[in-house]
Amino acid sequence: MTITKKRKNFLKVGSSIAMACALGSVTLASSAHAQESSWSPSQQVSMVVPFKPGGGSDIFGRAATAGIEEVRNNIDISVQNIVGGSGAVGYSTLLQRKGNPNYLLASETGAAIILPIMNDVPYNWDKLTPIAEAAEDHTMIIVANDSPYKSISDLVDAAKEGQVNIAISGKGSPASLSFKLIEKDQDVSFNRVVFESGSANNAALLGGDVAAAGANPGEAIELIKADKVRALTIFKDERFDRAPLSEVPTIAEAGIDVDITPTLQFRGVLASPGLSEAQQTYWENAIKEWSKTEGYKTYINNNYLTPKVRTGDEFADFLAKQHDTIAPLLKETD
Amino acid sequence: MDFFAHLVTGFGTALSPMNLLYCFIGVLLGTVIGLLPGLGSATGVALLLPLTLNLSPTTALIMLAGIYYGAQYGATITSILIATPGDSASVVTAIDGYPMARQGRAGPALAIGAVSSFVSGIISLILLMALAPVFASLALHFGAPEICALIVLGFTSIVGFSGTSRTKGLAMAALGVAITTIGLDPQSGNARFTFGFINLFGGIGFLPVVIGLFAVAEVLHQVRSGKVEPIRTHFRDMILKREDWRRCRTTICGSGLLGFFIGVLPGAGATLASFLGYDLARHFSKHKDEFGKGAIEGVAASEAANSAAVNGAFVPTLTLGIPGSGTTAVLLGAFIVFGIQPGPLLFTNEPDLVWGLMCSFFIGSAILLLLNLPLVPVFASLLRFRYALIYPCILFLSFIGAYAIENRMWGVWLTLAFGIIGYFMKRYDYPTAPLILGIVLGGMFEKTLIQTSSMGGGDLTIFLNRPIAMVLFALAALILYGPYLAKIYSKIRRASARKA
């Protein structure tokens, strides 16, 4: 066990300069039995990012790591991209670290909730320890600037009369679920074209191949500012408070009365199963304190997210609610 | 005109001592990263991103772009010397580069690789700077149906990569396409052929296959043949001769331009560019038989096409904020980390950054050339070591690379498996390149075909309304049946001439 561990660490160093500090974790300090009430990590902590470097999860994982290191002295967190299986490999890694408080997971709705509903994976969100939600991302419905559709009802009317192509990234994506909610509420159906990413959706929209697309604010903001696309609505309870997103009507304002829970994409932190209360509280507080820093604000602003911190039971309840609202929707989406 | 004013500011930014230094460091680090198989430009940029966080955004992005450039060339070096492509775009370089190295011509192969990257890089940079907005709107006309047609065109190049038997080539390409069906179905998100293994959910990665089929299989094959001797090279063989350059001139321009166009299209990428660039060169070459056996034009075509595609990928990235390749997607992530929103307004809002970045591409290319040309004999001399020393190193590097792809053992097991498959393929003379091509194109073909059919509501006649796609299909048909038609035509002419 130790030998494999050492070798793994060695290889990592050989492969990446950025992880050079990982060698430090070979020598394990043995104070795991420190008093529970005052628990704090005594060895290097890993922030597992279950997706490739450069993506939304990676940006979150790195921002959270920097934030926790800022609010907690003498703590060393290394970001590890454990990629594979659309996130499943990273989640399983934590599942195997039962009771180990030195592993955190940068998580979001897709891999935490949707993947286990759609596929047979060895984990589920409720098998891990919920630490905290740190931010929320919303879904907007966007059209090209020269599109004849000025509102969601225009789009719905068009779908009643003929084929309306929409771009989504994957059947289980927040965009797909958002359109599904409109379809159910208005009793119409859109013609789904699945693309591999938000930017591919945008390209299809700009090229005129689809009438509308789902996008989160970060993906669409620059195109909106450049008058290339318009947002018809946003699945959010209240409007954004900064221009130009403040002009986008909420889905309720657009006349569609639905629960937006399934369309939200949370960004937060989960931990290994079986953490003690003290360990859980330690990490919860770290995230809470991070959310009060400048770095957090910058992260939220740069990525056009909504600040939202939920911890403990509140976070667990949110996860359960997302699961319970998404599962039936996915079953109805063929 | 604004253009020249921008150019002056741009070079002003790029040539500031600080930026120049970081550009150099980036290129150097990139080359080292590229030398490690498996660590391609996308991973390299992502891994080194944290190191740049304390720099100003412009300097940081210049350094990251330098890494991107350097990694491309580093990958070329290992493809040529030890048949281990460092990333997907340099697979095609190995097809002729490695045979050249075995013939003792590693020097010219490495040199032409550097020179053709540089020349086509500069041509495509001029296109990028002068006409980026034009190409960007062109790229938007390439929706799913057009990309699908382009991939069909790509499939026609299998013929050129099949070696002795066309049937074997087609079989290998079909195997490649079959491999891409493993994993989560891009349309429905359901698991296919994964047998409940979560490791297979993400599909079989391209890089473990490449490292296995090329590097590991080659080592196994050579070890079995048992009589491997160090390659004796003389210094005079290491220098690019005038004859070599004359053979490659037009190839570099032709394949470079083609590569640039393909790079501009979102999603198509440098790998497809290098396959098509190589095929183009083969079609118009006077030395068709030498391709695959060490034709210097083969190396030039592949390298010219892939470095032009790298620059082409910046067109949609900088003008629309839509990444043209995996690496530019990571770079876009870096923009956001630095608080710069990439999008259509980037040129207007951040002219210093954009022009400084593009001018630094020129400087990066020049540094790369100056850094690497003098080192060519050094690299080429590595092959003079005994193979008892080289082979363990190749295997060691291959497995480190395979591990580094996703930082886990799964990549190593895959590499080993494909190494064994590759060994038997070599033993029974099955060509590797079509298999790689099948993997590169298979996934994209399925995706774009389904997208096209969903756009038409399940009806593929939508292709008929897409003129660009129809032209590409026609071109594919011409490539496949052109030679037969030409033969028939000349037969008829001869027959009628006899009658008359």
The gap between the terminal CA atoms of chain B, to the nearest Å, is 63
Asked if residue A35 belongs to a domain, the reply is no
Average pLDDT, chain B: 87
Let me know if residue B350 belongs to a domain: yes
Q: Which residues constitute the domain of residue B293?
A: 2-465
B191-192 and B183-184 as β-strands: parallel, antiparallel, unpaired? antiparallel
pLDDT at position A226 is 92
Phi, psi dihedral angles at B292 (to 5 degrees): 90, -10
Lowest mean pLDDT among A252-256, A314-318, B212-216, B345-349: B345-349
Same domain? A224 vs A296: no
Q: Give B78-101 as a 3 state SS string.
A: HHHHHCCCCCHHHHHHHHHHHHHH
B339 vs A8 pLDDT, higher one: B339
Model pLDDT for residues B340-353, shown as the tens digit of each residue: 888 888 888 888 88
Interchain proximity A85–B189, CB inside 8 Å: no
Q: What are phi and psi of A224, to 5 degrees?
A: -70, -45
Q: B222: helix, coil or strand?
A: helix
Interface of B with A in 92-121 (CB under 8 A): none
Alpha carbon of B76: minimum distance to chain A alpha carbons (Å): 19
Same domain, A54 and A161: no
CA distances to B119, B140, B360 from B27, rounded to whole Å, are 17, 31, 11
Do residue A286 and residue A310 come from a single domain? yes
CA–CA min distance B255, chain A (Å): 26
The answer, yes or no, to whether residue A11 has pLDDT greater than 50, is: no
For residue A167, what are its two tokens? 């771009």
Contact B202 A86 (CB under 8 A): yes
Q: What is the mean pLDDT of residues A42-56?
A: 88
Query: What is the chain B residue with the closest CA to A115?
Result: B189
Please name the residue of chain A whose CA is at the shortest distance from the CA of residue B142: A207
- Give chain B's length: 500
CA distance A124 to chain B (A): 13
Q: Is residue A33 domain-resident?
A: no
User: What is the least distance, in Å, from the CA of A145 to any CA of chain B?
Assistant: 13
Q: Using CA atoms, how far apart are residues A131 and A272, in angstroms rounded to an integer? A: 10
* Residue A20: per-residue pLDDT: 37
How many domains is chain B built from? 1
Question: Model confidence over B376-390: pLDDT tens digits?
Answer: 888 888 877 877 888
pLDDT score recorded for residue B234: 67
Q: Are residues A236 and A277 in the same domain?
A: no
Number of domains in chain A: 2
- Vertex B185: Cα angle to B181 and B188 (nearest 5): 155
List the single residue in A11, A84, A208 with the smallest CB-CB distance to B400. Answer: A11
Copy the structure tokens of residue A152.
Answer: 């969601």
Two tokens at B363? 């400087």
For residue B460, tell me if it sits in a domain: yes
Widest Cα–Cα separation across chain B? 82
Of B43, B108, B116, which Cα lies nearest the Cα of B73? B116
Q: Can you give the residue range of the structural domain that contains A172?
A: 143-263
Examine the domain organization and report whether A60 and A103 are in the same domain.
yes
Query: In terms of domains, do A293 and A187 share one?
Result: no
Which SS3 state, helix, strand or coil, does residue B152 take?
helix
Q: Answer whether A199 sits within 8 Å of B401, measured CB to CB.
A: no
Domain-embedded: residue A37: no
Across residues B461-466, what is the average pLDDT? 92
Note whether residue A161 is domain-resident.
yes
pLDDT greater than 90 at residue B259: yes
Stronger pLDDT, B9 or A47, i.e. the higher one: A47
Q: Do A206 and B140 touch (CB under 8 A)?
A: yes
Residue B97 lies in a domain: yes
Q: Is the pLDDT of residue A177 over 60?
A: yes
Chain A residue with the nearest C-alpha to that of B44: A16
For the stretch A242-271, pLDDT in tens is: 889 999 999 999 999 999 999 999 999 999
Q: Which residue of A lies nearest to B37 if distances are taken between CA atoms?
A: A15
Nearest to A193 by CA among B303, B171, B279, B454: B454
Which chain B residues are closer than 8 Å to A225 by Cβ?
Answer: 343, 345
Of the two residues A212 and A200, the one the predictor is more confident about is A212
- Is residue B208 included in any domain, yes or no? yes
Task: For residues A251 and A184, state if they share a domain.
Answer: yes
Residues 381-420 of B with CB under 8 A from A: 400-401, 403-404, 406-408, 410
B266 and A16 within 8 Å at the Cβ level: the answer is: no
Q: Given an 8 Å threshold on Cβ–Cβ distance, is A203 in contact with B330?
A: no
Q: Do residue B196 and residue A120 have CB atoms under 8 angstroms apart? A: yes
Question: pLDDT for B419-428, tens place per residue?
Answer: 999 999 999 9
DSSP one-letter string for B82-151: HS--SSGGGHHHHHHHHHHHHTT-HHHHHHHHHHHHHHHHHHHHHHHHHHHHHHHHHHHT--HHHHHHHH
Say if residue A310's pLDDT is above 90: yes
Assessment of whether the complete model's pTM goes beyond 0.90: no
Pair (A122, A150) in one structural domain:
no
What pLDDT is recorded for position A36? Answer: 42
**Contact A84/B48, CB-based, under 8 Å?**
no
Verify whether the Cβ–Cβ distance B201 to A84 is below 8 Å: yes
Please report whether residue A284 resides in a domain: yes
Quote the pLDDT of residue A334.
63
Query: What confidence category does residue B137 fall into, taking pLDDT thresholds of 50, 70 and 90?
Result: confident
Percent of chain A with pLDDT over 90: 71
Q: Is residue B496 part of a domain?
A: no
Is the separation of the CB atoms in B90 and B76 below 8 Å? Answer: yes
Residue of A77, A59, A61 whose CA lies nearest to B338: A59
Q: What is the mean pLDDT of residues A62-67?
A: 94
Residues A64 and A98 in one domain: yes
Q: For position B229, what pLDDT does the model report?
A: 65
Q: Is the pLDDT of residue A208 over 50?
A: yes
In-domain check, residue B364? yes
Question: Smallest Cα–Cα separation from B440: which of B72, B79, B189, B180?
Answer: B180
Query: Which pLDDT score, from 0 to 100, does residue A22 have?
Result: 37
Predicted pLDDT of residue A50: 93
A95 with A222, same domain?
A: no
Query: For B338, which residue in chain A has the nearest alpha carbon?
Result: A302
Mean pLDDT of A300-314: 93
The pLDDT > 70 percentage for chain A reads 89
Cα dihedral sign, A282-A288-A292-A297:
positive
Which residue has 């696309």 as its token pair?
Answer: A229
| Residue that terminates a domain, selected from A232, A263, A294 | A263
The last residue of a domain, from among A206, A231, A263: A263
Q: Are residues A168 and A257 in the same domain?
A: yes
φ and ψ at residue B431, rounded to 5 degrees: -75, 140
Only one residue has tokens 């080292």, namely B32
Are A272 and A127 within one domain?
yes
| Cα–Cα distance for residue pair B346/B349, rounded to 1 Å | 5
Q: CATH no. for residue A111?
A: 3.40.190.150
B312 and B138 Cβ atoms separated by less than 8 Å: no
**Cβ within 8 Å, pair B408-A53:** no
